[in-house]
Amino acid sequence: MLHRPRRNRRAASVRSLIRENKVTADDLIMPLFLVDGKGIEEQIPSLPVAYRRSLDKILKEIKSCIKLGLHSFILFPKIQEKYKDNLGTYSYSTDNFYLKAAKKIKAKFPQITLISDVALDPYSVDGHDGIVVNGQIINDETVAVLAQMAIAQAEAGFDIIGPSDMMDGRVEEIRNALDAAGYTERGIMSYTAKYASGFYGPFRDALDSAPVDDPSVPKDKKSYQMDPANSREASLEAELDALEGADFLMVKPAVHYMDIIRRLREEHMLPIAAYHVSGECAMLIAACEKGWLDYETVMPETLLSIKRAGADVIITYFAKAFLELTKLTKR
């Protein structure tokens, strides 16, 4: 037999020589959920690896993540009902606690990359990413609000603006608005191929941001998030985002959409970010809790698979847990 591929798998030292992909702290972005208040640290029941935290606890968490080598964070706010309306005006208000928190985070940790979330849903009484009029999510008026939100976030110190809303033309509008306000150096990580997925459930629990149960409001996000059946459409969205000035193209969810990650990786030169979403993390945790899967094996395997599919950047609730685990197993 001339070819025996097993020769290269014989010993751990040989396997590590030929290993093609590796996940490191440099690849990872840690999502954090912010609530107003003090001393708050509540575990999210449907996503037990994540917590809703007030700013004081977030600062502590960021510090302990930095010790593990993490340097990039994406921040999501949970907004109290009293600040919600159907235009998302609180999102760019000067007393918005999310914006104030970003300022404090960047003042304390100037070296980190802090990424924002641009969408109306946490601020919307309707629980939609855009403005709802007569049962429709209206595009252009929403985009104008998103641009205002982006400027307020840049002003607060966010390094990268993350539009997660899937409105048409928002990347260009946000780029122009940022440039006009003097924020030419702030990047845009566009949620390029964001699918209308069932895997966002625990995230909406965490932020209480699901579409409301009201007959005059669409009950799903299918008129703006993409149909899970489509892949050519992802290429179209990616082409538009690249032309509109995006700095990163994101695919979301990650695990169930690895073909899309690979497709965009091959078609574009921009960095590809993959969002390993809440439901994808939750299902893994649940199976491990039942003893049906081994957490220390499948959690790192999942992140590695996302990288192998072609992601440059992985947003995952396991970012910290992964680094804690690799530290342990290296010992």
Please say which residue, 70 or 75, places its beta carbon nearer to ligand PBG: 75
Give catalytic status of residue 252 as yes or no: yes
Amino acid making up residue 289: E
Whole-number CA gyration radius for the chain: 20
Least separation, in Å, of the C-beta of 32 and ligand PBG?
12
Identified catalytic residue from 78, 84, 221, 252: 252
Q: Which of 223, 226, 228 is nearest to 211 (CA)?
A: 223
Residues in the chain: 331
Per the DSSP assignment, residues forming a β-bridge with 54 are none
Per DSSP bridges, beta strands 72-78 and 28-35 are parallel
Is 194 catalytic? The answer is yes
Q: Which is nearer to ligand PBG, 100 or 204 (CB)?
A: 204
Q: Count CB-CB contacts under 10 A for residue 112.
A: 18
CA distance 30 to 43: 16
Tokens of 188: 């845009």
Give the Cβ contact number of residue 244 at 10 Å: 18
Nearer to ligand PBG, 57 or 252 (CB): 252
Closer residue to ligand PBG in complex, CB, 126/165: 165
Interacting residues with ligand PBG (CB under 6 A): 117, 119, 121, 129, 164-165, 200, 203-204, 221, 277-278
Contact 149, 181 (CB under 8 A): no
CB of 238 to ligand PBG, least distance (A): 18
Give the shortest CB-277-to-ligand PBG separation in angstroms: 4
Q: From residue 314, give the alpha-carbon distance in Å to each of 119, 238, 251, 278.
A: 20, 18, 10, 13
* Of 73 and 203, CB closest to ligand PBG: 203
Q: How far is the CB of 319 from ligand PBG (least distance, A)?
A: 12
- Minimum separation from the CB atom of position 206 to ligand PBG (A): 8
Residues marked active site are found at 194, 252
